[in-house]
Amino acid sequence: MDRRRLRDALLASARGLLLIPLTVGLSTVLFVLFAVSVALTPIGVGVLTTPLVVDGIRGHANLRRRLAADWYGVTITAGYRTPRGDRRGIAGQVERCVTMLRDPATWREAGWLFVDAVAGLFLAVLPVSLLGYAVFGLVLLAGVWVPIVNAGGTYWFAFVPVNSWFTALLAALTGIGFGLLAQYVNTPLIRGHFLMTRSLIGLSERQLLAQRVERLKETRHDAVDGAAAELRRIERDLHDGAQARLVAMGMSLGTVEALIEKDPEQARRLLAQARASSAEALTELRDLVRGIHPPVLAERGLGDAARALALRMQLPVEVDVELPGRLEEPVESAAYFAISEVLTNAAKHSGASNAWLDIYYSRAEKTLRIAITDNGRGGADLDAGTGLRGLERRLGPFDGVLALSSPAGGPTLVTIEIPCALVE
């Protein structure tokens, strides 16, 4: 007997035993709740309950995704649509409900719940049953069949009628056969359970690409609007700041030219004021350029720019950077300003005493990952303000994703992922 095969069969049975309450219990309950909640949407009750139920369904589905990946290396891509807008109150609740109901992933997972409660249950129960028959067949042969038959007559063990020692022996042999079969089919059955789940709620590469294209189309308008707003900000800052100072400096120099022979002392004072104005205009221009694209970012890349940014923060920031090379300039700029926004929020609102910044690039996945953690009071919410929503819009054109974990009491963790390639 192959011990490894027997161990795998026993492990698959244990996993099937864990899946049984998830299939017949949780999947059934969530399916019923979803159906009732959607039915109540036209009268307004479902608007409040549907997002909660869908969140529960997604949590249930994500648990299966984790089990599939951890147990058998089966990757099941979610592909949820990111809710748009940051309205609060009833309007925000209606918008969230509509977004979830329009998301194809919601309906895929609702259909999966029904299939999971039937076919998923069968695939989870079968490995347990095969080993259970093997054990119970030997129990019957030990003499347990006698009181069972005396109490209720012939006992059917699978397809074997047990009513004598000979038939009890046949039942035991049948159970041993089931046990041998379990060594070969238990693992494929549980793996098949997750493969079935992937076929129902997972996205294929083609579907995932189509969804990304759709999302990029949706965020293109945000990118255009953001660029226009940034241009207006630059024009306003130039008009109200440096340009005004330069105009005043020009007028002062004109006055100096008229006074240089008549009143040299007054001319010297005006020249000193003009020199001060030129220094202030230069400072404003440098700040403006830094707001558009920091020089250290252009010259030394995201890693050094992030370290320089951390040194200017009001709270201590530990920085860990693993970048094997430079990224494209738009990606570096978006990542830099995202880091700046998150660290600034942490310094102003979190009450944190320390923060940690980790920047890592995965060559295998061609993805830039940024994690920003602080030890503040927590309680941050994507819907609580426009800052993080603005970051989502900034990352949208790059197909970037922002995730927030901020339980009450902290810590707060902001994760950013941007698909991108290194600049060779």
What one-character DSSP code corresponds to residue 204?
P
CATH number assigned to the domain covering 297-419: 3.30.565.10
Tokens 């340009």 belong to: 243
CA distance 289 to 238: 11
> Rounded to a whole number, what is the distance in angstroms from the first to the last CA of the chain?
55
pLDDT in tens, 210-233: 666 666 665 565 555 555 555 665
pLDDT at site 33:
94
SS3 346: helix
Q: Is 335 left (phi over 0), alpha (psi -120 to 50) or beta?
A: alpha
Residue 314 corresponds to which tokens in the numbers above? 């009001």
Higher pLDDT, 155 or 256: 155
More confident residue, 161 or 275: 161
User: Which tokens is 62 given?
Assistant: 């994500």
DSSP H or E run through 239: none
Give the 3-state DSSP-derived string for 31-94, with helices as H, strands as E and coil as C. Answer: HHHHHHHHHCHHHCHHHHHHHHHHHHHHHHHHHHHHHHHHHHCCCCCCCCCCCCCCCCHHHHHH
Range 220-292 has CATH code 1.20.5: yes
| 402 beta partners | 416
State mean pLDDT over 368-381. Answer: 86
CB neighbour list of residue 89: distance below 8 Å, 6 or more residues apart: none
Sign of CA dihedral 401, 402, 407, 411: positive
- Res 163: pLDDT: 85
Q: What is the CA radius of gyration of the chain?
A: 33
In angstroms, how far apart are the furthest CA atoms of the chain? 133
CA distance 416 to 336: 11
Q: Which residue has the higher pLDDT, 97 or 226?
A: 97
Which stretch of 83-87, 134-138, 152-156, 162-166 has the lowest confidence by average pLDDT?
A: 83-87
Confidence of residue 188 (pLDDT cuts 50, 70, 90): very high
Most confident of 327-336, 374-383, 391-400: 327-336
pLDDT top residue among 238 and 401: 401
Domain ranges in the chain are 3-203, 220-292, 297-419
Residue 327 has pLDDT above 70, yes or no: yes
Average confidence (pLDDT) over 401-411: 82
Residue 29: predicted pLDDT: 94
What percent of the chain is modeled with pLDDT above 90? 20
For every residue of 168-180, DSSP letters joined together read HHHHHHHHHHHHH
Question: How far apart are the C-alpha atoms of 112 and 124, rounded to whole Å?
Answer: 15
pTM for the whole structure? 0.56
What distance in Å separates the CA atoms of residue 230 and residue 409, rounded to the nearest whole number?
A: 36
Q: State how far the Cα of 268 lies from the Cα of 36, in Å rounded to an integer.
A: 83
Is the confidence at residue 42, as pLDDT, over 70?
A: yes
Q: Which of 11, 105, 98 lies closest to 61, judged by CA? A: 105
Band (pLDDT 50/70/90 cuts) for residue 86 is: very low
Lowest-confidence pick of 53-57, 179-183, 289-293, 313-317: 289-293
Question: What value, to the nearest 5°, has the Cα angle with vertex 20 and ends 1 and 194?
Answer: 75
| Cβ atoms of residues 128 and 17 within 8 Å | yes
